[in-house]
Amino acid sequence: MSNTIKNDENIKSCIILCGGQSRRMGQDKGSMIIQNKPMIKHILSTLNKHIDEVIIVLNDQVRVDKYAKFINPEEYTYSITFLKDKIKSKGPLSGIMTGLGEIKSDYALILPCDSPYVSEDYIQTIFSQIDSDYQAIVPYHDENNKLKTSEPLHSIYKKDTITEIEKLVNEDVLHIKGLIEKITTKFILIDNKKIEKKEFRNLNRPEDI
């Protein structure tokens, strides 16, 4: 077991967003116990041996301290960094911006902490789609409306999108699909073959569990 970082060009990075308010669930989702362990640890286990660094973005120091107590980096094959949102109360875009600013690679896979069904196959498939001509790799459900049916929180973004994200956040334009419209995006179909729909199931309410 090793969490040594490789050369920059070979690094695979993942940013896990844990800064949400979890109003519908009524409690912090990432630390909720699902099948005998915190929800985020299902994702962390899936990433083992497929990722070189994980950035966990949380909304404040209290939550950083909480997660650091139950996540032991020694259990994983990659490095783990805990970060606070650089700009609070600006939604996922702020978390993506915070994480991209710290990654050692050119690209990072973004995942929400409430998607425990992401598989190893999905991790491998989406990283295989990285293309230097594009700033984002985004899965979508419907050929007739790629943007509307896209899954921007299970996507890969290039580090240089930070500049565009900063502009949007400063203008209080916080919809991630607004970012996708402004950057070069490669859309990949969720076809239930290479990419299955179940990968994108998330847990928002108690009845979802």
Name the DSSP letter for residue 198. Answer: G
Identify which of 184, 189, 200 has the alpha carbon closest to the alpha carbon of residue 144.
Answer: 189
> Binding site residues for GTP, as ranges?
17-19, 29, 85, 114
CB 109 within 8 A of CB 13: yes
> Binding site residues, as ranges?
17-19, 29, 85, 114
CB 137 within 8 A of CB 188: yes
For the record, the structure tokens of 142 come out as 């419907």
> Binding site residues for Mg(2+), as ranges?
114
Cα angle value 1/18/132 (rounded, 5°): 70
Residue type for position 164: E
